[in-house]
Structure 1
Amino acid sequence: MLAEPNLALFGLIFAFTWQYAGYIMMIYVAALLNVPQELIEASQIDGANFIQRLRSITIPMIAQAFTITSFLTLVTSFKQYDIIVALTNGGPAAIYQGTTVNSTEMLAVHIYSVAFKYNNMAEGQARAIIFFIVLSVVSIGQVYYNKKKEVEM
């Protein structure tokens, strides 16, 4: 799968998911265990069904876990370098509109290639700074958006 240009990216997605699924699930399990059982019992006494309890109590109470996991997943997905280099080294090469491109060369690997493989340190550093700024803006916007949905206990 990793040697086929059209399937290599899906292989990497599978590897990324496998690597981080347990960590993300631990965060969700911890958040679910911290939902007060008194609220669940009170809603059952009031006659709320499972969907109503899920929508009105459980999801708002674990909103902080959504904020944390979406931030971690977003930031980690932007800066993936080690798995890409270990599994495919940015390849395999594919032909796209008459140009040879590496099918799994993501942004962090491309910045490394510009700086060290092509020995263009200034351009690599400029790309890294722009990458940092974009990642910061996207991350702060995502956290700000998710923080508005959280419920304080």
Structure 2
Amino acid sequence: MATSLITREGFERLRNELNELWRVQRPEIVRALSAAAAEGDRSENAEYIYRKKQLRELDRRVRYLSKRLPDLKVVDQQPADPNRIYFGATVELENLGTGVVVRYRIVGPDETDAPTGQISVDSPMARALIKRQVDDEFTVQLPSGAAKFSILDVRYGD
């Protein structure tokens, strides 16, 4: 089961998504579905079939968010030791094999976004980073194989 931690920004983003889906998108889809249903034979009505599918997908996401949001624990304060890596940290790492420098922020699984460097606290990389500090070296098993990294910087906040 996924960790129930989330950053304040991530929580607000999910709450805003739920409000947008429920208050804006759902009424629009229901109106379009009603209009498509009024056109007659529903069995061969592509617009009706498409809108039903769209409504099911939206309702599935609304149900998920409605159940998940109350279970989430917002973490919006720095840890007692800001020199160590914990949830919410932004870390800069150097791959010792390739020399490539990467930056990651450790966030909850509900706000993970690899292209922007937001990695889940449940990921192998984040697990390897937790409780480490600047200048520590560690090895982690990645999909491409084992890689050795050095921690260059640890920051919290913006």
Higher-strand-fraction structure: 2
TM-score (norm 1): 0.30
Higher-helix-fraction structure: 1
